[in-house]
Amino acid sequence: MKKILVVRYGTIGDTIFASAFLRELRQNLPDVQIDFLADKVAKEVVNNCTYINNIIDIKRKWKDIVYYINIFKNYDTIYFLKNDSFLTLTAFLSRVKNRIGFGILRNKFLTKTAPYKEDRNEIDCYLDLLKICGYEVNSDKTELWLTPKDEEKIKGKLKDINGKKVIIQAYSRFSQKNWIDDYWVEVIKYLSDVMECQVFYSGGQKDFELYENLNKKLSDVKIKPVNLCGQLSVTESFAFIKNVDLFIGIDSGLIHAAAALDIPSILLNGATSLKRWTPRSDKCTVLSKNFPCNPCCIQTGVKKGCKNQTPRCMLALTPDLVIDILKKL
Residue 221 inside a domain? The answer is: yes
Together in a domain, 117 and 164: no
pLDDT along the chain (329 residues), means of 10: 92 96 98 97 95 96 95 97 95 97 90 91 96 97 95 91 95 88 97 97 92 94 94 95 97 95 96 89 94 66 59 92 95
Residue 138 inside a domain? The answer is: no
Decide if 210 contacts 245 (C-beta within 8 A).
no
Which candidate, 96, 83, 111, places its Cα nearest to that of 14? 83
Which candidate, 309, 269, 288, places its Cα nearest to that of 172? 269
Crossing angle between the packed helical segments 253-260 and 234-242, to the nearest 10 degrees = 50
Together in a domain, 188 and 253: yes
Together in a domain, 15 and 162: no
Residue 139 inside a domain? The answer is: no
**Of 131, 164, 185, which closes a domain?**
131
Together in a domain, 120 and 172: no
**Of 73, 106, 131, which closes a domain?**
131
In CATH, what number is assigned to the domain containing residue 279? 3.40.50.2000
Together in a domain, 172 and 96: no
Together in a domain, 202 and 164: yes
Mean pLDDT of the chain: 93
Decide if 109 contacts 84 (C-beta within 8 A).
no
Residue 206 inside a domain? The answer is: yes
Together in a domain, 297 and 199: yes
- Output phi, psi for 202, to 5 deg: -120, 140
Beta bridge partners of 10: none
Residue 143 inside a domain? The answer is: no
Domain span including residue 293 = 148-327
pTM of the predicted model as reported, rounded to 2 decimal places: 0.92
Residue pLDDT, tens place only, 84-105? 999 999 999 999 999 999 999 8
Total domains in the chain come to: 2
Residue pLDDT, tens place only, 186-214? 999 999 999 999 999 998 899 999 999 99
Residue 216, classified by CB atoms within 10 Å of its CB into exposed (0-12), middle (13-18) or buried (19+), is exposed
